[in-house]
């Protein structure tokens, strides 16, 4: 199952969270690429570069909701605009420390958001994300 998922992006302004989450993901046996980014602006720039150079988009994106410069909601709005020009088919999992009802409700406005996950990511969260991507 892991061989169908080749790349994962971790987007969180806390480098320690990115480090911990990458360890958890590797413990599941995942041996693909893990790219860590510290803010939503970096994610948008990386995705634009991928699209312009016709490389493959990441299979899974785990993104913290509350980040400086660009929150996850700002990123999702930007991705929605980018979809008018580029085919963007990504599975996004939003990370939060406090699951508020308004975040759950708001996430449903973005089809690319598959689920909200309470931080930290666990091994089962990663396996569930793979299943969501593969529609299992």
**pLDDT confidence of residue 127:** 94
Average pLDDT (45-73) is 96
> Could you report the per-residue pLDDT of 1-43, keeping only the tens digit for each?
567 899 999 999 999 999 999 999 999 999 999 999 999 999 9
Give 113's strand partners.
92
Number of domains observed in the structure of the chain? 1
Residue 68 included in any domain:
yes
Residue 134 included in any domain:
no
d(CA 15, CA 102): 26
Residue 132 included in any domain:
no
3-class secondary-structure state, position 20:
helix
Q: Whole domain around residue 66: which residue ranges?
A: 2-125
Whether 73 has a pLDDT exceeding 60, the answer reads yes
Please state, for a pLDDT cut of 90, what percent of the chain lies above it: 86
Residue 104 included in any domain:
yes
Residue 14 included in any domain:
yes
Residue 130 included in any domain:
no
**pLDDT confidence of residue 4:** 85
> Could you report the per-residue pLDDT of 75-131, keeping only the tens digit for each?
999 999 999 999 898 999 999 998 788 999 999 999 999 999 999 999 999 999 999
Residue 46 included in any domain:
yes
Residue 131 included in any domain:
no
Closest CA to 13 of 67, 75, 69, 70: 67
What 8-state DSSP symbol labels residue 33?
A: E
Six token digits for residue 7 = 């790349």
Average pLDDT (68-79) is 96
CATH at 105: 3.40.50.2300
């Amino acid at each position: 199952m892991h061989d169908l998922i080749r790349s994962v992006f971790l987007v969180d302004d806390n480098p320690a969270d990115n480090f911990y989450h990458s360890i958890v993901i590797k413990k599941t046996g995942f041996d693909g690429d893990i790219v860590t980014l510290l803010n939503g602006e970096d994610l948008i720039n990386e995705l634009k570069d991928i699209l312009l150079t016709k490389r493959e988009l990441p299979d899974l994106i785990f993104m913290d909701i509350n980040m400086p410069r660009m929150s996850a909601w700002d990123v999702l709005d930007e991705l929605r605009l980018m979809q008018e020009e580029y085919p963007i088919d990504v599975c996004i999992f939003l990370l939060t420390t406090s699951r508020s009802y308004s975040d759950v409700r708001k996430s449903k406005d973005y089809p690319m958001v598959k689920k909200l996950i309470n931080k930290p990511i666990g091994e089962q969260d990663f396996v569930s994300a793979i299943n969501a991507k593969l529609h299992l």
